[in-house]
């Protein structure tokens, strides 16, 4: 459970760092609120399979955001 918590916190930090790269402040604020709300909403989750699935989904969304940011810069 401790390792899972570390994974979740690491994912949260990586998402917030990626969001900082968004150029438009309004979009950045929206994404920050969205990320906070999602993590808060799932804070009480205890089932291992569900948590693992949410981490996987979060990583995929992070990769999509990073890809979009990379495209926007080029």
DSSP annotation of 22: -
Q: Residue 74: what pLDDT?
A: 81
Cα angle value 23/11/19 (rounded, 5°): 5
Q: Confidence band (pLDDT; 50, 70, 90) for 2?
A: confident
Q: Residue 73: what pLDDT?
A: 86
N-terminal to C-terminal alpha carbon distance within the chain: 40
Torsion region of 64: left, alpha or beta (phi above 0 gives left; psi -120 to 50 gives alpha): alpha
pLDDT tens digits for range 5-46: 999 999 999 999 999 999 999 999 999 999 999 999 999 999
Q: Could you give the CA distance from residue 22 to residue 17 in angstroms, rounded to a whole number? A: 10
Contact (Cβ atoms closer than 8 angstroms) between residue 65 and residue 15: yes
* pTM for the whole structure: 0.90
pLDDT tens digits for range 56-69: 999 999 999 999 99
């Amino acid at each position: 459970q401790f390792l899972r918590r570390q994974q979740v916190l690491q994912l949260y930090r990586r998402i917030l760092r990626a969001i900082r790269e968004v150029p438009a402040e309004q979009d950045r604020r929206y994404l920050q609120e969205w990320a906070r709300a999602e993590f808060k909403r799932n804070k009480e989750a205890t089932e291992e399979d569900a948590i693992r699935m949410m981490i996987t989904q979060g990583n995929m969304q992070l990769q999509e955001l990073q890809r979009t940011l990379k495209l926007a810069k080029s």
